């Protein structure tokens, strides 16, 4: 392997390891979800290291043999899935599934303890004690199961993220829409590595004696993923902050839709616009369609229909439109630039700086700072 590529790969793995430690031990954004993310990264890094260790032995102990280093491949999909579920507030839905696979992952990983026992007591190993073909096929079977688990987890994660995205758009005004989008990209970035992993397992089944560059490709995609994650963690730390409890569960617990049809006319839409503007409900950072409906004594379904049908937006877009306009007014009135961008965002109802910037880019195509520098008029 080219020394430059080798250095870049090892630098990415080392950076990913330190990032994992930050997620696990940092007090600033301590959360169970971040702990799971850190453990997931460590599992990924351990597997990548096993494929790229420059030596085969530690003393007399052969670390290149099967099960000489803990097999943590099954931890990768389980920890990933658990992390996504924690971020979406849906862990309870899959408790049994997670419990079974955590137990399986621990049992598989603990086989190494038996290998260490054989080495310490009998100066041997699992490969030396049992038929190599049996060990080889057992290892391949475990690899295949971990891969199928990964495919299942990626597919279900995308489905759950998509469901949560619709919920956020239709029910909530500010909750971590950015986190939902980030989770979506997070999963998609893992798909290439999973595909190459499946291709490598298939190759081993058909042509076990042939060499392949697929393992290197997997490690390269893992390193790209680690670099991306580090970049996002540095630039958007609030994306990894603790998710407010029960935010998404508000949508999950909503009552079953009734058979009553809500027809919204233009007059009703204008009334909703006026009520939102006059009372400045949008300044509530945690405003939901349910809380807004309760404030104005109107059915949430009627509000949703008005916004979707007559205004061509979802609730999230509609409310953030008011917040953007409020922020524009604050910037324009702040002639001496006494207010910070973060302060303007908070006074406009945005929960974070990144949410403010994303809304500006989405609505206007430029950032709040650019608007301030160019002294643009409010359209």
Query: What tens digit of pLDDT does each residue of 32-85 get?
Result: 999 999 999 999 999 988 877 778 899 999 998 999 999 999 999 999 999 999
CA dihedral 364, 369, 370, 376 (to 10 degrees): 70
Q: Does the pLDDT value for residue 259 go beyond 60?
A: no
Between the two ends of the chain, the Cα-to-Cα distance in Å is 57
At 42 the three-state DSSP class reads helix
Between 253 and 282, name the one with better pLDDT: 282
In this structure, how many other beta carbons lie within 10 angstroms of the beta carbon of residue 99? 11
Least confident of 89-93, 163-167, 228-232, 259-263: 259-263
Least confident of 129-143, 147-161, 218-232, 251-265: 251-265
Separation between Cα atoms, residue 329 and residue 339, nearest integer Å: 12
3-240 and 262-374 in the same fold:
no
Between 243 and 76, name the one with better pLDDT: 76
Beta bridge partners of 61: 58
Separation between Cα atoms, residue 15 and residue 283, nearest integer Å: 39
Q: What is the pLDDT of residues 141-169, one digit of tens each?
A: 999 999 999 999 999 999 999 988 887 77
Which fold does the domain 3-240 belong to in CATH? Answer: Rhopdopsin 7-helix transmembrane proteins (1.20.1070)
Beta bridge partners of 288: 172
pTM over 0.85: no
Residue with tokens 């080798």: 6
Q: What is the pLDDT of residues 176-189, one digit of tens each?
A: 566 777 888 899 99
Torsion-angle region of 307 (φ positive above 0: left; ψ -120 to 50: alpha; else: beta): alpha
Q: 97-101, 332-336, 360-364 — which one is most confidently predicted on average? A: 97-101
Q: Does the pLDDT value for residue 112 go beyond 60?
A: yes
Q: How confident is the model at residue 246 (pLDDT cuts 50, 70, 90)?
A: very low
Least confident of 151-160, 252-261, 353-362: 252-261
Q: How confident is the model at residue 256 (pLDDT cuts 50, 70, 90)?
A: very low
How many residues can be counted in the chain?
Answer: 379
Cα-flanking dihedrals φ and ψ of residue 296, to 5°?
Answer: -105, 5
Q: Does the pLDDT value for residue 253 go beyond 60?
A: no
Q: Does the pLDDT value for residue 356 go beyond 90?
A: no
Q: How confident is the model at residue 378 (pLDDT cuts 50, 70, 90)?
A: low
Q: Does the pLDDT value for residue 258 go beyond 50?
A: no
The domain limits of the chain are 3-240, 262-374
Q: What is the pLDDT of residues 301-344, one digit of tens each?
A: 888 888 888 888 888 889 999 999 999 999 888 877 788 888 99
pLDDT value at position 122? 93
Q: What is the DSSP string of 59-123?
A: TTEETTSTTSS---TTHHHHHHHHHHHHHHT-GGGGHHHHHHHHHHHHHHHTHHHHHHHHHHHHS
CATH, domain 262-374, list 3.30.70.20, 3.30.342.10, 3.30.70.860, 1.10.10.60: 1.10.10.60
* Ordered alpha helix ranges (H), the chain: 3-25, 32-50, 75-88, 95-109, 111-122, 126-129, 132-171, 177-206, 214-235, 249-252, 266-279, 289-296, 300-305, 315-333, 341-347, 353-363, 368-374
pLDDT value at position 261? 47
In this structure, how many other beta carbons lie within 10 angstroms of the beta carbon of residue 352? 21
Least confident of 130-134, 147-151, 214-218: 214-218
Cα-flanking dihedrals φ and ψ of residue 288, to 5°?
Answer: -120, 165
Q: Does the pLDDT value for residue 121 go beyond 60?
A: yes
Residue with tokens 């999963």: 187
pLDDT value at position 376? 58
CB distance 42 to 58 below 8 Å: no
Separation between Cα atoms, residue 331 and residue 55, nearest integer Å: 60
pLDDT value at position 109? 94
């Amino acid at each position: 392997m080219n020394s430059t590529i080798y250095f870049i790969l090892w630098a990415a793995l080392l950076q990913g390891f330190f990032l994992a430690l930050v997620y696990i031990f940092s007090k600033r954004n301590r959360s169970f979800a971040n702990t799971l993310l850190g453990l997931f990264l460590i599992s990924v890094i351990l597997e990548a290291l096993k494929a790229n260790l420059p030596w085969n032995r530690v003393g007399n102990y052969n670390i290149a043999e099967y099960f000489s280093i803990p097999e943590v491949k099954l931890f990768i999909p389980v920890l990933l899935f658990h992390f996504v579920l924690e971020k979406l507030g849906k862990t309870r839905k899959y408790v049994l599934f997670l419990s079974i696979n955590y137990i399986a992952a621990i049992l598989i990983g603990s086989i190494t303890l038996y290998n260490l026992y054989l080495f310490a007591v009998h100066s041997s190993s699992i490969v030396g004690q049992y038929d190599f073909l049996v060990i080889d096929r057992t290892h391949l079977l475990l690899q295949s199961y971990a891969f199928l688990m990964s495919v299942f987890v990626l597919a279900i994660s995308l489905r759950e993220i998509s469901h949560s995205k619709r919920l956020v758009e239709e029910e909530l005004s500010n909750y971590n829409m950015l986190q939902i989008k980030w989770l979506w990209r997070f999963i998609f970035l893992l798909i290439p590595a999973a595909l190459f992993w499946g291709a490598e397992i298939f190759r081993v089944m058909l042509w076990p004696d042939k060499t392949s560059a697929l393992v290197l490709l997997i490690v390269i995609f893992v390193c790209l993923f680690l670099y991306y994650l580090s970049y996002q963690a540095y630039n958007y730390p609030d994306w990894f902050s603790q998710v407010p409890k029960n935010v998404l569960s508000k949508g999950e617990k909503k009552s079953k839709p009734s058979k009553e049809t809500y027809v919204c006319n233009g007059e009703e839409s204008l009334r909703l616009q006026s009520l939102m503007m006059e009372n400045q409900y949008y300044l509530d950072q945690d405003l939901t369609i349910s809380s807004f409906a309760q404030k104005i004594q109107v059915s949430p379904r009627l509000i949703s229909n008005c916004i979707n049908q007559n205004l061509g937006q979802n609730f999230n877009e509609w409310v953030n439109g008011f917040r953007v306009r409020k922020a524009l007014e604050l910037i324009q009135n702040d002639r001496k630039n006494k207010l910070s961008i973060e302060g303007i965002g908070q006074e406009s109802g945005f929960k974070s700086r990144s949410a403010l910037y994303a809304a500006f880019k989405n609505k206007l195509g430029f950032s709040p700072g650019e608007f301030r520098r160019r002294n643009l008029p409010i359209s």
